Amino acid sequence: MPIGDPADQKAAREIESSLREAVAQGDCPPVELDWFSGLPDRTRNSGKLLQAALKLTEPLLKHARTAWAKEKATERAREEHLAELRAKPRDLDCLRSPDGATWQGVGRRKRRCRKFNAIGQAFTARQSLPPKAARHPGGTPRSSMEQSSASESGQ
């Protein structure tokens, strides 16, 4: 039985510790540690059984490693791009008008945009209300059927 062998148990502990270190350092995807945690205790405590389980699941872990490596490379490229952009000085001269007044007209434009938005909101709110019923000259509302019959009879 591999469980009774202290050297086998020590090998299993070394594999587990090396796997945890690799995940902590970012050399190995965290899904491998999840895979290891999901193994039965008997397999996790035996180096021989652990090696056999690794051989069986190697294609699956290889696929997970490649997907993780692609994701990590994309993230690294994005971080490098952001660092490059942060390193460049910001050119605020593009905000100046020819006469040198910085932020020329921003307040006026802001007020105009807010007025425009308020008018648009009022318009859409008005459109969502039901239309008022047509009123009869006497003050009582008339339905469309009454109006059509009244126009046909000559009233």
Q: Can you name the residues that pair with 96 across neighbouring β-strands?
A: 102
Domain locations in the chain as residue ranges: 2-87
Q: Is the sign of the CA dihedral 41, 42, 46, 52 positive or negative?
A: negative
Q: Model confidence over 95-148: pLDDT tens digits?
A: 665 665 555 566 777 777 888 888 888 888 887 777 665 555 555 555 555 555
Q: Indicate the helix (H) or strand (E) that contains 11.
A: helix 6-25
Q: Predicted confidence band at 5 (pLDDT cuts at 50, 70, 90)?
A: confident
For the chain, the average pLDDT equals 79
**What are the residue ranges of helices labelled H in the chain?**
6-25, 30-38, 41-44, 47-87, 106-128, 144-153
DSSP classification of residue 138: T
Q: What does the pLDDT read at residue 75? A: 93
Q: What does the pLDDT read at residue 1? A: 47
Return d(Cα 54, Cα 65) in angstroms, integer. 14
User: Is pTM beyond 0.85 here?
Assistant: no
Q: What does the pLDDT read at residue 86? A: 87
Q: Model confidence over 38-67: pLDDT tens digits?
A: 989 888 888 899 999 989 999 989 999 999
